Structure 1
Amino acid sequence: MVQKLQKLQKLRVAVVGLGVGKGHLQAYAAIPDLYDIAAVCDLDTAKASAAAAEFGVPWHTTQFSELLESAEQGKLDIVDICTPPYTHRALIEQALAAGLHVVCEKPLVGSLAEADAIAAAQKVAKGTLFPIFQYRFGHGLQKLKHLQSKGFAHTPFLTTIETSWRRDADYYEVQWRGKWATEMGGCCLTQALHAHDMLSYVNGPVKTVFAHLATRVNPIEVEDCAAISIGMENGSVATLSVTLGAAEELSRLRFMFSDLTVESRSTEPYRPGKDPWHFQGKTPAIDAAISAALADFVPALESFEGEFALIHATVTGGAPTPVSLHDARQSLELITAIYHSAETGTQVSLPIPPGHAKYNSWAPTGGSFNKVAHHG
């Protein structure tokens, strides 16, 4: 007799902020056995109404407080925050206090002090906070993690990560973008944070940072070009390069180990973790062993769908959190070091403790970097 599979518990989610949030809605809609989209929320009534109609959502609102009231009535499980960065901390804390689980886009918050504050809030909350790092769940990157679990890629040498994207003047017509007070950073924080998270996801913690930043592409407050030198705790080194002035957009990661070299070869700049990835062993024997190991790889859902499926498993079945608060704080610690190094022209060592000059804010003193070459 075939045993019937137990029906999965659906989680009721509300998505707040319908810019980036549209991508989240598409992902939830793609896994309807796991989620019901219960509500959408945006300050723009027309945008909220249109999203509700497009995704068949029964309720839309412009008021975050109405979602919290719904949670208190037991009508909501998760709130997914996709609003501008400067709003994140307050919304996270309010949602946790209302007993909700919280999904939040990057950057999670605007300083290490804020990261520690929301970590403290979660410790006493009923719900769990889930930071978003959907690039981790591409099949190409997951194949590298699979090989690491089988003993390959055991001595890292060098990692290079390129984020060459394009943002023209129309992108910065949105009022909150390009400003320290509201976007809270430039290309390192807003565009390249995902790719840089993949560095530590593969190679562990960062030890030292030296950064050159510049504003070359658009007349904005924050940086739009970066060249960063990294020393890892594991002894390897890395370089991170970023620009928002590329004529052809590209994201590329290369990981060089004692036994193999790994390179992302996806032509989609916003999905560098997905296939194809190239794995080249140093000898024919290593190549054969890699092929055999990859034959055991079991692909799961990718991108937002992959992370949301794992979040469902955490909430309903106690599975490990797919991206932890420690992971998100680690990415913000790298950001803090990058901005401090660029402002002071010095190498910065991690960890960055409370009491550090940039613990409460990584924004440069006076609103600009000493080393920045401004557009124009």
Structure 2
Amino acid sequence: MSSIKTVAIVGCGIGRSHIVEGYLPNADKFKVLAICDLNTERMNGLADEFGVERRVVNFDDLLTMDDIDIIDICTPPGVHYAMVMAALKAGKHVVCEKPLVGSLAQVDEVIAQEKLSKGMLMPVFQYRFGNGIEQAKAIIDAGIAGKPYIGTVETLWRRGPDYYAVPWRGKWATELGGVLMTHAIHPHDIFTYLMGDVKRLFGRVATRVNDIEVEDCVTASVELASGALGSFTATLGSADEISRIRLAFENVTFESDHAPYSPGAELWKILPRNDETARKIAELLANWQHVAPRFQTQMARFHDALQGLGPLPVTSADSRRALELVTAFYHSSTSHEDVELPIAADHPKYQSWVPAAFRKA
């Protein structure tokens, strides 16, 4: 049986990046057989560009195609939940862009459905991959870094009226949130990936840059389960664009490359506290093998997981952790309270963090 997995791309926006960065560099592992989009002009343009013959307008048609292994969901966030659940119930493997779904209740339903389905689900957190973040993770996992002390995350990006001219952006019903959900979710995921689970969060959100429903500025103070502390700041009104992550551990301080959309790709600044730590790091990294950034490595490791050769590189549990932070942020900002994690089904925003005035009837 061929190890090449067949893919249907649903949504032609970020879906193009999945093809260019993820599937084409892994052409020995994946083949894109179908493109699906409601906008036939966009769909035909993408399909023509990459020589994909099968063009589908109705998402449900993909679920009955026996020669499609993977449904790759790249649609606006508001429709993720229904598509993920339908694809899992149809027995397909699923790749889904962030945010995976629109509430903790929905992510828990997805996790329950996964256990009943033969397909595997991989949410997308492509910023996790690349030489910089992988080296930091290796040093931490080897125990060299020691106890985590404190960390900061700055997501300083720029978005204006041209960005929000796309009809689904900036609206609660379709984007499900603003800078917290669509942009800073990546660097915040890197923080928890390296530093561990957040125990408490006190946050603020505001809309100061754009004339939109959702937030475009946020800040928070966090306490981790380990006892370490952290701070998150994000805006879509920065003059330049950087993603900056700085993490101070007992023996090492790390600082990310400041590239806004691929902070894990280039080598990070690694500052050992003493010569002995420097020696251990040098030994650990002596035979370092290059790790391609973003989608290329995430998709390659997804293929390994499908073949039973390794774990899923990103899981639904990772998405739940990210969405817990989102939920805590929104609740803290409206209640002016410190929010304790994990968040259970009796929490006021478990069913939805969307303000009541913007919820669908």
Give TM-score scaled by structure 1 length: 0.92
Instruction: Check the 8 A contact 2:201/2:220 in 1, yes or no.
Output: yes
Task: Give 1:37's match in structure 2, choosing from 13, 32, 37.
Answer: 32
**For this pair of structures, how many residues does the alignment match?**
358
Task: Note the alpha carbon deviations across 1:233-285, whole angstroms, 9 max, x for none.
Answer: 0100011110001110001110101101100124x210011112110111133
* 2:123 equivalent to 1:131: yes
* 2:41 equivalent to 1:46: yes
Q: Distance in 2 between matches of 1:147 and 1:8?
A: 37
Q: 1:78 is matched with which residue?
A: 70
Q: Distance in 1 between matches of 2:280 and 2:26?
A: 35
Instruction: Check the 8 A contact 1:185/1:222 in 2, yes or no.
Output: yes
**In the alignment, residue 105 of structure 1 is paired with which amino acid?**
E
* 2:211 equivalent to 1:219: yes
**In the alignment, residue 108 of structure 2 is paired with which amino acid?**
D
Correspondence 1:100-179 to 2 at 5 A: 100-179=92-171
Instruction: Check the 8 A contact 1:164/1:246 in 2, yes or no.
Output: yes
Task: Give 2:274's match in structure 1, choosing from 268, 283, 295.
Answer: 283
* 2:291 equivalent to 1:300: yes
Task: Note the alpha carbon deviations across 1:204-244, whole angstroms, 9 max, x for none.
Answer: 11100011111110011111011111100010001111000
Shift of 1:128: 1.0
**In the alignment, residue 302 of structure 1 is paired with which amino acid?**
P
Task: Give 1:353's match in structure 2, choosing from 344, 347, 355.
Answer: 344
Q: 1:333 is matched with which residue?
A: 324
* 2:22 equivalent to 1:60: no
Q: 2:84 is matched with which residue?
A: 92
Instruction: Check the 8 A contact 2:173/2:358 in 1, yes or no.
Output: no
Q: 1:23 is matched with which residue?
A: 17
Q: What fraction of aligned residue pairs are identical, expressed as a percent?
A: 44
**In the alignment, residue 217 of structure 2 is paired with which amino acid?**
C
SS at match of 1:238: strand
C-alpha distance 126-257 of structure 1, shift in aligned 2 (>3 A): same
**In the alignment, residue 228 of structure 1 is paired with which amino acid?**
A
Give TM-score scaled by structure 2 length: 0.96
Shift of 1:317: 2.5
SS at match of 1:307: helix
Shift of 1:9: 0.9
Instruction: Check the 8 A contact 1:18/1:82 in 2, yes or no.
Output: yes
Q: 2:301 is matched with which residue?
A: 310
C-alpha distance 204-8 of structure 1, shift in aligned 2 (>3 A): farther
Instruction: Check the 8 A contact 2:265/2:292 in 1, yes or no.
Output: no
Moved more, 272-281 or 109-118: 272-281
Q: Distance in 2 between matches of 1:22 and 1:342?
A: 35
Q: Distance in 1 between matches of 2:77 and 2:177?
A: 10
SS at match of 2:307: helix
Runs of at least 5 residues in structure 2 that lack an aligned partner in the other structure:
none
Q: 1:3 is matched with which residue?
A: none
Q: Distance in 2 between matches of 1:233 and 1:245?
A: 32
**In the alignment, residue 171 of structure 1 is paired with which amino acid?**
Y
Shift of 1:346: 1.0
Q: Distance in 1 between matches of 2:356 and 2:334?
A: 8
Moved more, 104-113 or 273-282: 273-282
Instruction: Check the 8 A contact 2:262/2:293 in 1, yes or no.
Output: no
* 2:191 equivalent to 1:196: no
Q: Distance in 2 between matches of 1:204 and 1:261?
A: 16
Task: Note the alpha carbon deviations across 1:175-198, whole angstroms, 9 max, x for none.
Answer: 111111111101011101011011
CA RMSD of aligned residues (A): 1.4
C-alpha distance 51-312 of structure 1, shift in aligned 2 (>3 A): same
SS at match of 2:270: strand
Instruction: Check the 8 A contact 1:210/1:346 in 2, yes or no.
Output: yes
Runs of at least 5 residues in structure 1 that lack an aligned partner in the other structure:
1-6, 369-376
Instruction: Check the 8 A contact 1:8/1:34 in 2, yes or no.
Output: no
Instruction: Check the 8 A contact 1:156/1:236 in 2, yes or no.
Output: yes
* 2:314 equivalent to 1:320: no
**In the alignment, residue 291 of structure 2 is paired with which amino acid?**
A
Shift of 1:328: 0.7
